[in-house]
Amino acid sequence: MSKTETHAFQTEVNQLLKLMIHALYSNKEIFLRELVSNASDALDKLRFEAVSNDKLTEGESELAITVGFDKEARTVTITDNGIGMTRDEVIANIGTIANSGTKKFLDSLSGDQAKDSNLIGQFGVGFYASFIVADNVELITRKAGDNVSEGTKWISQGEGEFTLETVTKATKGTEIILHLKEDMDEFLNDSRLKNIITTYSDHISFPIKMLEEQKDEEGKDTGKKVLEQVNKATALWRLPKSEISEEEYNNFYQTLSHDFDAPVATLHNKVEGSLEYTSLLYLPKKAPFDLYDRERRYGLKLYVKRVFIMDDAENLLPTYLRFVRGVIDSDDLPLNVSREILQSNRVVDKIRAASVKRILGAIAKMAKAEDKTAYNEFIAQFGSVLKEGVVEDMANKDKISQLLRFASTTSGSAEPTVALADYIDRMQADQDAIYYITADSYAAAAGSPHLEMFRKKGIEVLLLSEKIDEWLVNHLTDFEGKTLTSITTADLKAFDDEADSKLTDEDKKDREALTEKVKATISELVSDVQITHRLTESPACVVSAEGDMSAQMARMMEQMGQAMPKQLPVLELNPDHALVKQLASIKDEAELKEWSLFLLEQAQLAEGDQLDNPAEFIKRMNSLLAEKV
């Protein structure tokens, strides 16, 4: 007699189950979509494995899914004759959530059921959807090829633990028995179950069967039931576009993505000629919670002649398009294709290039729409990852650059709505550069003293506050013949020259004396001290010395754990500000140093720098203020 063992769920599973059961109650019918999808995956995996080992079929010629119910027992049962699971696989796949972003996902939930239900859908509820409708779930499974005595029975009420038992199972595959909750009788009805299957799973390429009353020659019930197929079992992507409704496209997308929202674009293409393949790609409306998780698997489902090969075939799309969902079905790849083969395969390279062109074309079409609302919403979700494409995809750099949107001093909002082409259209007649500033946040960029002179002259400046932006501007150095120029660089001489032309020789001599005096006082902290006309309200600012990386980039590298050599900034003084004018009259060296340090540290704070000793800065500021009281 087999011993029954009790195991505790992983903590995250417990949390997810409690949240999911409540958040997804209004979409409870998705339990069947999820379980049928899992069964289909198991059949796909068996069909793939059987290509090289036909013994795994165990003599069964048909792969299928069966759905049934028992009114008296109040159970719904979903059965497949697919790949099945070993005992260890059951524990790994059902007792834990092997997803590095799980904690981040759970932290992102707000408590608002409407919002959280969509996030939970994106996370992929899978098997756990069972507990939306059932208070007791049994799973009986055996791995294809294993001995009939090596089956595993898993039982749980979804409340912290599950039991495992080794059992005899004559057939390979998995059977799931759901003992329904008291208020779930609607699913003890063949019409209801059929409707869910035809709505969400009609496209599943394996037969989904249910017991039907057998009719006699006159069409009367015989009292006997036989299994009959209730889905079309035709791969949706293989059908002509004219035969597919928008609802069917959307249902297939939701099965792929677990997303409750409809996609913003559907791209369905069949390619024939020297290369033959079908692609069905979707652009989501919202970004998944783990879009920036480095360990996240991404990519498309790959089929070869309708035989499932792998999930997350990342070589079919570049990283910056990882938000795209869909299927590629090739007639030219071998059935035994591996991830290693995909890395250097001519067919894959061509499919990838064509898919990228098609996706960027669809995004460009959205961008050209007269009503920009949908595109602005799309960019708010995926603009950051598109920026990665400028760095990653040199062949499409220009196309991607045209799709990017930014906040600016003209847009008056943190929302990225300004295209580079629009910026150029608004440039002043004598302006030959696209000006930008990078900062840790939109507020820091919009409030930077570096903007003062640009505002005075009515020159638009792009406000860049995403982490990717520093890498972006290092690779996107020009656009349509206009150079992208940071307003925090040390060299903006054109603006200085205009004001300097009005100075007398004596004025120039006095200013030079002032900068030399201040530089000598704090020489260990700055690389230079200069007079500037980029400021109209602030007394001072700091900029990076020529050849140095920007202060923002240096901060980011340090945050990533990179040891950075000490870079001394250039301190620029506003000669028209009262505090700077005061410096010229100070004779006492100690007092001069205190004021010079105050102006330097104030400018560094405005730039977003962390002071080595903030308490000392406060003490110095209070002391200088006290002198004026």
What are the extents of the domains in the chain?
4-234, 238-403, 503-629
**What is the pLDDT at residue 548?**
62
DSSP H/E element including 321: none
Nearest to 520 by CA among 529, 508, 511: 529
Q: Please state the rounded mean pLDDT for residues 343-364.
A: 94
**Rounded distance between C-alpha atoms, residue 284 and residue 245, angstroms:** 18
* 403, 416 Cβ separation under 8 angstroms: no
**What is the pLDDT at residue 599?**
92
**What is the pLDDT at residue 582?**
86
**What is the pLDDT at residue 68?**
95
**What is the pLDDT at residue 496?**
58
Q: What is the pLDDT of residues 161-219, one digit of tens each?
A: 889 999 999 999 999 999 999 999 999 999 999 999 988 888 888 999 998 877 777 76
Taking 90 as the threshold, does the pLDDT of residue 325 lie above it? Answer: yes
Q: Please state the rounded mean pLDDT for residues 103-117.
A: 56
* 228, 86 Cβ separation under 8 angstroms: no
- For 27-36, 270-279, 370-379, 483-492, which range has the lowest pLDDT when averaged over its residues? 483-492
Taking 50 as the threshold, does the pLDDT of residue 155 lie above it? Answer: yes
Residue 306 in tokens: 């309708």
* 405, 379 Cβ separation under 8 angstroms: yes
**Exposed / middle / buried, residue 442 (Cβ in 10 Å: 0-12, 13-18, 19+):** middle
CATH no. for 4-234: 3.30.565.10
Task: Establish whether domains 238-403 and 503-629 are of one fold.
Answer: no
What is the third-level CATH fold of 503-629? Four Helix Bundle (Hemerythrin (Met), subunit A) (1.20.120)
DSSP 610: P
Q: Which of 16-25, 27-36, 402-411 has the highest mean pLDDT?
A: 402-411
Q: Please state the rounded mean pLDDT for residues 117-131.
A: 64
Q: Which of 69-83, 206-220, 250-264 has the highest mean pLDDT?
A: 69-83
String of DSSP letters for 141-206: EE-TTS-GGGEEEEEE-SSSEEEEEEE--SSSEEEEEEEE-TT-GGGS-HHHHHHHHHHHSTT-SS
**What is the pLDDT at residue 213?**
75
Taking 80 as the threshold, does the pLDDT of residue 346 lie above it? Answer: yes
* 112, 224 Cβ separation under 8 angstroms: no
- For 76-80, 90-94, 320-324, which range has the lowest pLDDT when averaged over its residues? 90-94
**Rounded distance between C-alpha atoms, residue 86 and residue 2, angstroms:** 16
Taking 70 as the threshold, does the pLDDT of residue 288 lie above it? Answer: yes
Q: Please state the rounded mean pLDDT for residues 573-588.
A: 88
More confident residue, 111 or 94: 94
Q: What is the pLDDT of residues 289-316, one digit of tens each?
A: 778 876 677 889 998 888 888 888 889 9
CATH classification of 238-403, choosing from 3.30.230.80, 3.30.870.10, 3.40.50.10900, 1.10.357.10?
Answer: 3.30.230.80
Taking 50 as the threshold, does the pLDDT of residue 99 lie above it? Answer: no
Q: What is the pLDDT of residues 542-559, one digit of tens each?
A: 887 766 666 666 665 665
Taking 70 as the threshold, does the pLDDT of residue 363 lie above it? Answer: yes
Nearest to 549 by CA among 562, 534, 532, 533: 562
- Sheet architecture: strand order including 570-573: 528-531, 570-573, 540-543
**What is the pLDDT at residue 100?**
42
- Sheet architecture: strand order including 208-215: 4-8, 161-167, 151-156, 134-142, 173-180, 75-80, 65-70, 208-215, 221-229
Q: What is the pLDDT of residues 420-472, one digit of tens each?
A: 999 999 999 888 899 999 998 999 999 999 999 899 889 999 999 998 998 89
